[in-house]
C-alpha cells in the first residue's frame, strides 16, 4: 500500500511516498513553483547504510582512555539504551559536580531539522539549561562578523537577516543593483525552518523582466544566472573593501556625496573622508590604488562609482564576504557607501545583505509570527563566539577579546552535540582533531555515522524527521507546514526529546523537561501559542486539527503594489525615528568600536591586507585562492550520502573547479583526481574547469564528509574532499571573532597514487564481541 505523508525540510516541502514502512520517493509541495532537486535525496538519507542503528560507545573510552586520547581511530562497542542513558547521566552529574556547569560545552551549533519542536539543538539546550547550565555559543557561522558589527553601525541586524527592503520596492524604484558575490540561485534552495515556497527565482526573474541592471562583482561568473544579463566584474577574493573605498574616493573627488544626508543622518563622515582621501595615513584610496589590489582596472572603478552615484541603486553583498579575514570591513564600507550617496531609506535603494544567500530574502511578506519552540535559559550565561571552539579547547582559562568584552575560555570536560556537525562546519579540521583530544567525554546525538559521530565517545542514534511528527516554520516563508510521521524509527533510533527526557529522569528532572507533555501535547501546545500570537497581530489561523489534516497553512501574500523599504522612517525623520546606534545615526565612525582599541577593527572601515590572499607572499607556494562555498547538491553535510550529491561527484570525490588555464599549466584536465593542499592539510577532489571562474581562484563546495585516510591521525589526507582540512581557523577580528574560511590559499596537483576508497558512507569499525 502506498501512502503520501505531508512533510518539510530546510531544503523544501514535499509529500513522502511511503510503501511497506519505507520512504520510497517524494512529491514536491504543489504550492512550490521551484521545488528544486534536493528533496530527491530524502529516501536515500532516511535508509542510508550509515544510519546509526543503536547506541554505541567508543571502546577506548570504556577502557578509560579519555582525556588526551585522539578520537576517530577507535572501534565502537554497541550498548543498550539503558546503559547509554546511565553512562551519559552519570558522566553529566560527575562533571557538573567536579568542574561546574561551564565545563559542559553545549553550544551545539548547527542547523538541526526544520521541525521546530524536535529541533535537536533547542532540545539539548533546554535539557542542559534546566539541568544547571552549560557553555553556549553566540552568533552563527553564517554571519558572525556582521552580527557583531552592524548593530554598532546601523543599529540593527534586520538588514542582514530580517525584513530588508523587498524586491517589490527594488523592482519599482532601483535601476541598478550592485551585487558583491552575485545572487547565486543555488543558495536559495534552502531556508532555515523549511522552504514552502522557493521565492528567489520568482523575484529575480521579475527583476530581470523589469529591466533591472545587475552589476555582479565576484570571482565566479556563475554567481548570477545568465538570464539576468548581469555585467560581470571579476574581483580578487577578499578585496571588496578596497574597491568600495576607491568608489567612495571617486564620489568625494567629484563632489557626488549627499552632504545633506551626511549632515543629518550620519556621524563620523569627517574621519572616514580623511581616511579615504589619504589625509589620515598618507595613502589616498584612489581607483589607481585599488586597481592592483582588486585586479579591476581603475577606469572601470571610476565608471562604476559614477553609475552607482547617479542611478537609483540597491547595494548588496552575499554573506560569504564577511566569512573572511577582517570580514567586518566590506560590510561596513558597503553601508558607508550607501550612506555617503544618501541612498539609505530611499524607496527601493540603500543597502542590505544576503539577497543571494538564502531563500526568501527580500521576498515581499507580511510579518506573521513564526511557529517556534521557546528559547531556553542558560543559568550560567556562559558562551563563546561561535567559531572559537578550537581556541576554547586549546586554552582553558585563556583570555580573549570579543566585541568590547574581555572573556575567558571555560575548562571543557564534556562536549555535547545535537543537530550540528563541527567536522563539517569548523575550519582547520586537523587542528580541531588535535584539540578534540582534550575533553574527557564527547556525547553526540546523530542520525548518521558522519565524521562527528565517528569522533565521539558516546553515540546516541537520533530519528530523522520522517520518523516523528513536527511542524516546520520560518520567518522568511509564508507557509507553515505539518510534518507527518511517515515511518517507524529506523533501528533503535529515538527522538532527541525522548532520549533527553530519559537522561533527565536519571538526573531527577524529567517532569520539568517534558512539562508532562508527549509529542502530540507539545505540538498542540506550541500551535496554540502560535495561534494566540497570530491573533494578537490580527492574523486568522485554523485550529490544530484542521491544520494537521490539511497539512499546511498559508499566510496571505501582500497585495501586488505593496512594497517595503527599510529605514524609510529614519530617512523621513531621523529625530522621530532614530537608529538604535549610540548616536541614533548611521555611524561612519563608531566611538564605541574605536574605544575597544582593536587594530584589526578600528573606528571606521579600513582596508587591511588579509592574512591569506593572492597579494600575499605565501601566494608563491600556494598560488590559488580557495573559496569553499555552499553546495548546490546538499545542505552543508546533510544529504551527502544522497543521490543528488553522488551524481555530482567525480569518482566519488567532491568537485573542485579551476579556470581552464590554471588547470592547463598544471597539466590537468577535467575528470582528473587532484590533491588540494597547503600547510594545514590536504584533500582529494575531482577536477572541473570553467572559463567563468577567475584565474587564480579555486572553488570547492563544503559538505563532503571528512574521510581521513588514517582515521584519528591529524594531518591525514581527506580522501573525499572536505575543504575544511585546508581553511584557516582565525577569528575575523577581535570585534566579530567570526569564521574566516574564505581567506585560504592552496595548491593543486595531480593525485598519482592508487585511489583510496571513500568509506565514510558506511559504518565505522564496530566490535560486536565486547559489552
Ligand X SMILES: Nc1nc2c(c(=O)[nH]1)N[C@H]1C(S)=C(S)[C@@H](COP(=O)(O)OP(=O)(O)OC[C@H]3O[C@@H](n4cnc5c(=O)[nH]c(N)nc54)[C@H](O)[C@@H]3O)O[C@H]1N2
Name the site residues for ligand X (rule: CB under 6 A): 110-113, 118, 120, 141-142, 180-182, 184, 186-187, 189-190, 217-220, 223, 235, 237-238, 240, 318-321, 323-324, 356-358, 418-421, 424-425, 445-448, 450, 462, 496, 627-632, 635-638, 702, 723-724, 727, 741-742
Residue 22: CB partners within 8 Å, gap ≥ 6?
43, 46, 47, 487
List residues near Mo ion by CB under 5 A. 142
Closest CA to 628 of 713, 562, 678, 702: 702
Nearest CB to Mo ion, comparing residues 142 and 203: 142
Nearest approach in angstroms of CB 582 to ligand X is: 29
Instruction: Evaluate whether 588 touches 339 at the Cβ level (below 8 Å).
Output: yes
For residue 553, indicate whether it is catalytic: no
Mapped onto helix, strand or coil, the DSSP state of residue 8 is strand
Q: Which is nearer to Mo ion, 110 or 155 (CB)?
A: 110
Minimum Å distance from CB 230 to ligand X? 13
Helix (H, G, I), strand (E, B) or coil at 446: strand
Instruction: Point out the catalytic residue in the list 61, 111, 548, 613.
Output: 111
Cα–Cα distance, 626 to 615 (Å, whole number) = 14
For strand 12-19 and strand 2-9, is the pairing parallel, antiparallel, or unpaired?
antiparallel
Residue 385: strand, helix, or coil: strand
Q: Of the two residues 439 and 637, which places its CB atom closer to ligand X in the complex? A: 637
Q: Shortest approach of ligand X to residue 120 CB, angstroms?
A: 3
CB nearer to ligand X: pick between 419 and 603: 419
Measured CA to CA, the distance from residue 212 to residue 520 in angstroms comes to: 48
Non-local (6+) Cβ contacts of 752 within 8 A are: none
Binds 380, which of ligand X, Mo ion, none (CB < 5 to 8 A, cut-off by type)?
Answer: none
* Nearer of residues 140 and 233 to Mo ion, judged by Cβ: 140
Please tell me whether residue 351 adopts helix, strand or coil conformation: strand
User: Distance between CA atoms of 720 and 755, rounded to whole angstroms?
Assistant: 11
Tell the smallest beta-carbon distance from residue 141 to Mo ion (Å). Answer: 5
The nearest distance, CB 741 to ligand X, in angstroms, is 4
| Cα–Cα distance, 599 to 590 (Å, whole number) | 14
Q: Which lies closer to Mo ion via its Cβ, residue 139 or residue 469?
A: 139
Looking up cell 586549546, which residue turns up? 394
Residue of 11, 56, 109, 629 marked catalytic: 109
State the number of CA atoms in the 13 A half-sphere of 513 facing the CB: 26
Cβ 342 to Mo ion shortest distance, Å: 32
Residue 357 binds which one of ligand X, Mo ion, none, with CB within 5 to 8 A depending on kind? ligand X
Rounded Cα–Cα distance for residues 586 and 580 (Å): 9
Q: Which three cell numbers stand for residue 287?
A: 581607483
Q: 126 vs 448, which CB is nearer to ligand X?
A: 448
Judged by beta carbon, residue 141 or residue 527, the one nearer Mo ion is 141
What minimum distance in Å lies between the beta carbon of 462 and ligand X? Answer: 4
Q: Of Mo ion, ligand X, none, which one sits near residue 685, judging by CB under 5 to 8 A according to partner kind? A: none
| 99, containing H or E segment | helix 81-99
Find which of Mo ion, ligand X, none residue 741 binds, CB within 5 to 8 Å per kind. Answer: ligand X
The answer for 198, left when phi > 0, alpha when psi is -120 to 50, beta otherwise, is: beta
| Cβ atoms 264, 769 nearer than 8 A | no
Selection from Mo ion, ligand X, none that 456 binds (CB < 5 to 8 A by kind) is none
DSSP 8-class letter at 738:
-
Encode 621-682 in three state secondary structure: CCCEEEECCCCCCCECCECCCCHHHHHHCECCECEEEECHHHHHHCCCCCCCEEEEECCCCE
Instruction: Please state, in angstroms and as integers, the Cα–Cα distance from residue 615 to each residue in 281, 346, 467, 651, 677, following that order.
Output: 21, 37, 51, 34, 19
Using the minimum distance from each CB to ligand X, give the nearer residue, 289 or 629: 629
Dist. CA 739–CA 741, nearest whole Å: 6
Q: Hunting for cell 572559537 — which residue is that?
A: 388
Cβ of 244: how many Cβ atoms within 10 Å? 32
What is d(CA 663, CA 690) in angstroms, rounded to the nearest whole number? 10
Whether 326 is a known active-site residue: answer: no
Give min distance, CB of 537 to ligand X, in A: 28
Question: Can you tell me the distance from the alpha carbon of 579 to that of 197, in angstroms, rounded to the nearest whole number?
Answer: 32
Residue 181: contacted member of Mo ion, ligand X, none (CB under 5 to 8 Å, by partner type)? ligand X
Q: How far is the CB of 747 from ligand X (least distance, A)?
A: 17
Rounded to an integer, what distance in angstroms lies between the CA atom of residue 59 and that of residue 57?
6
Minimum CB–partner distance for residue 643 and Mo ion (Å): 24
Dihedrals phi, psi of 595, to nearest 5 degrees: -70, -20
At closest approach, how far in Å is the CB of 151 from ligand X?
19
323 or 497: CB nearest Mo ion: 323
Considering the complex, state which of residue 457 and residue 496 has its C-beta at the smaller distance from ligand X. Answer: 496
231 vs 303: CA distance, rounded Å: 13
Rounded Cα gap, residues 273 and 282, in angstroms: 13
CB 498 within 8 A of CB 481: no
The residues near 597 (Cβ < 8 Å, ≥ 6 apart) are none
- By beta-carbon distance, which residue lies closest to Mo ion? 142
- Helices 298-310 + 240-253 axis angle, to 10: 70
Q: Which of the listed partners (Mo ion, ligand X, none) does 208 bind, with a CB threshold of 5 to 8 Å by partner kind? A: none
Q: Which residues contact residue 755 at a Cβ distance below 8 angstroms, ignoring those fewer than 6 apart?
A: 651, 673, 684
Shortest approach of ligand X to residue 214 CB, angstroms? 13
> Considering beta carbons, is residue 429 or 650 the nearer one to ligand X?
429
Residue 118 binding: pick among ligand X, Mo ion, none (C-beta 5-8 Å cut-off by kind): ligand X
Three-state SS for 123-148 is HHHHHHHHCCCCEEEECCCCCHHHHH
Active site residues: 109, 111
Amino acid at each position: 500500500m502506498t501512502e503520501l505523508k505531508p512533510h518539510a525540510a530546510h531544503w523544501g516541502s514535499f509529500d513522502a511516498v511511503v510503501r511497506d514502512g519505507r520512504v520510497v520517493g517524494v512529491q514536491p509541495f504543489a504550492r512550490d513553483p521551484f521545488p528544486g532537486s534536493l528533496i530527491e535525496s530524502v529516501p536515500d538519507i532516511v535508509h542510508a547504510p550509515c544510519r546509526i542503528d543503536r547506541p554505541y560507545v567508543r571502546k577506548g573510552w570504556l577502557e578509560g582512555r579519555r582525556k588526551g586520547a585522539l578520537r576517530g581511530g577507535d572501534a565502537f562497542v554497541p550498548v543498550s539504551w539503558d546503559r547509554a542513558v546511565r553512562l551519559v547521566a552519570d558522566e553529566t552529574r560527575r562533571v557538573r559536580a567536579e568542574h561546574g556547569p561551564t565545563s559542559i560545552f553545549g553550544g551545539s551549533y548547527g542547523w538541526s531539522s526544520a521541525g521546530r519542536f524536535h529541533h535537536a539543538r533547542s532540545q539539548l539546550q533546554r535539557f542542559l539549561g534546566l539541568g544547571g547550565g552549560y557553555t553556549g555559543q553566540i552568533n552563527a557561522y553564517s554571519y558572525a562578523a556582521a552580527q557583531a558589527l552592524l548593530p554598532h553601525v546601523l543599529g540593527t541586524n534586520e538588514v542582514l537577516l530580517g525584513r530588508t527592503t523587498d524586491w517589490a520596492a527594488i523592482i519599482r524604484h532601483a535601476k541598478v543593483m550592485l551585487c558583491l558575490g552575485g545572487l547565486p540561485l543555488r543558495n536559495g534552495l534552502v531556508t532555515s525552518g523549511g522552504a514552502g515556497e522557493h521565492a528567489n527565482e520568482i523575484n529575480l526573474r521579475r527583476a530581470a523582466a523589469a529591466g533591472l541592471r545587475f552589476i555582479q562583482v565576484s570571482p565566479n561568473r556563475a554567481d548570477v544566472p545568465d538570464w539576468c544579463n548581469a555585467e560581470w566584474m571579476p574581483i580578487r577574493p577578499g578585496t571588496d573593501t578596497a574597491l568600495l573605498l576607491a568608489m567612495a574616493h571617486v564620489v568625494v573627488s567629484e563632489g557626488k556625496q549627499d552632504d545633506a544626508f551626511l549632515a543629518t543622518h550620519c556621524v563620523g563622515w569627517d574621519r572616514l573622508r580623511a581616511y579615504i582621501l589619504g589625509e589620515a595615513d598618507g595613502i589616498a584610496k584612489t581607483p589607481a590604488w585599488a586597481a592592483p589590489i582588486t585586479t579591476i582596472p581603475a577606469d572601470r572603478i571610476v565608471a562604476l562609482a559614477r553609475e552607482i552615484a547617479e542611478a537609483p541603486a540597491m547595494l548588496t553583498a552575499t554573506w560569504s564576504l564577511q566569512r573572511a579575514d577582517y570580514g567586518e570591513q566590506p560590510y561596513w564600507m558597503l553601508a558607508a557607501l550607501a550612506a555617503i550617496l544618501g541612498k539609505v531609506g530611499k524607496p527601493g535603494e540603500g543597502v542590505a545583505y544576503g539577497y543571494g544567500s538564502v531563500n526568501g530574502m527580500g521576498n515581499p511578506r507580511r510579518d506573521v509570527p513564526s511557529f517556534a519552540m521557546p528559547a531556553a535559559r542558560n543559568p550560567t550565561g556562559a558562551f563563546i563566539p561561535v567559531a572559537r571552539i578550537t581556541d576554547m579547547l586549546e586554552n582553558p582559562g585563556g583570555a580573549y577579546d570579543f566585541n568590547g568584552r574581555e572573556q575567558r575560555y571555560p575548562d571543557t570536560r564534556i562536549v555535547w552535540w545535537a543537530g550540528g556537525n563541527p567536522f563539517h562546519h569548523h575550519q582547520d579540521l586537523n587542528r580541531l582533531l588535535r584539540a578534540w583530544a582534550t575533553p574527557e567525554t564527547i556525547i553526540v546525538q546523530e542520525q548518521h555515522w558522519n565524521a562527528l559521530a565517528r569522533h565521539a565517545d558516546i553515540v546516541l542514534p537520533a530519528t530523522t524527521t520522517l520518523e516523528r511528527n513536527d511542524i516546520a516554520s520560518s520567518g522568511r516563508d509564508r507557509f507553515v507546514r505539518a510534518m507527518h510521521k511517515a515511518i517507524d524509527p529506523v533501528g533503535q533510533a529515538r527522538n532527541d526529546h525522548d532520549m533527553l527526557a530519559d537522561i533527565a529522569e536519571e538526573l531527577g528532572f524529567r517532569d520539568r523537561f517534558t512539562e508532562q507533555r508527549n509529542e502530540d501535547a507539545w505540538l498542540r501546545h506550541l500551535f496554540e501559542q502560535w495561534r494566540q500570537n497570530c491573533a494578537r497581530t490580527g492574523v486568522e489561523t485554523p485550529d490544530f486539527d484542521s491544520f494537521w489534516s490539511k497539512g499546511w497553512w498559508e499566510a496571505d501574500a501582500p497585495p501586488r503594489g505593496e512594497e517595503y523599504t527599510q529605514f524609510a522612517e529614519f530617512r523621513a525623520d531621523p529625530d522621530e525615528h532614530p537608529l538604535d546606534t549610540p548616536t541614533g545615526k548611521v555611524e561612519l565612525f563608531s566611538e564605541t568600536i574605536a574605544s575597544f582599541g582593536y587594530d584589526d577593527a578600528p573606528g571606521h572601515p579600513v582596508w587591511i591586507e588579509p592574512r591569506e590572499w593572492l597579494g600575499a607572499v605565501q601566494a608563491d607556494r600556494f598560488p590559488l585562492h580557495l573559496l569553499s562555498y555552499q553546495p548546490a547538491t546538499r545542505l552543508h553535510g546533510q544529504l551527502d550520502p544522497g543521490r543528488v550529491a553522488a551524481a555530482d561527484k567525480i569518482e566519488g570525490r567532491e568537485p573542485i573547479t579551476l579556470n581552464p588555464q590554471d588547470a592547463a599549466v598544471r597539466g590537468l584536465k577535467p575528470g582528473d583526481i587532484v590533491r588540494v593542499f597547503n600547510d594545514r592539510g590536504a584533500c582529494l577532489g575531482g577536477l572541473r574547469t570553467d572559463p567563468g571562474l577567475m584565474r587564480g581562484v579555486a572553488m570547492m563546495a563544503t559538505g563532503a564528509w571528512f574521510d581521513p585516510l588514517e582515521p584519528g591521525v591529524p594531518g591525514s589526507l581527506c580522501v573525499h574532499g572536505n575543504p575544511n582540512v585546508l581553511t584557516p581557523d582565525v577569528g575575523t577580528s577581535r570585534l566579530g571573532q567570526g569564521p574566516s574560511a574564505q581567506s585560504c590559499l592552496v595548491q593543486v596537483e595531480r593525485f598519482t597514487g592508487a585511489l583510496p576508497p571513500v568509506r565514510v558512507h558506511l559504518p565505522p569499525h564496530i566490535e560486536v564481541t565486547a559489552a
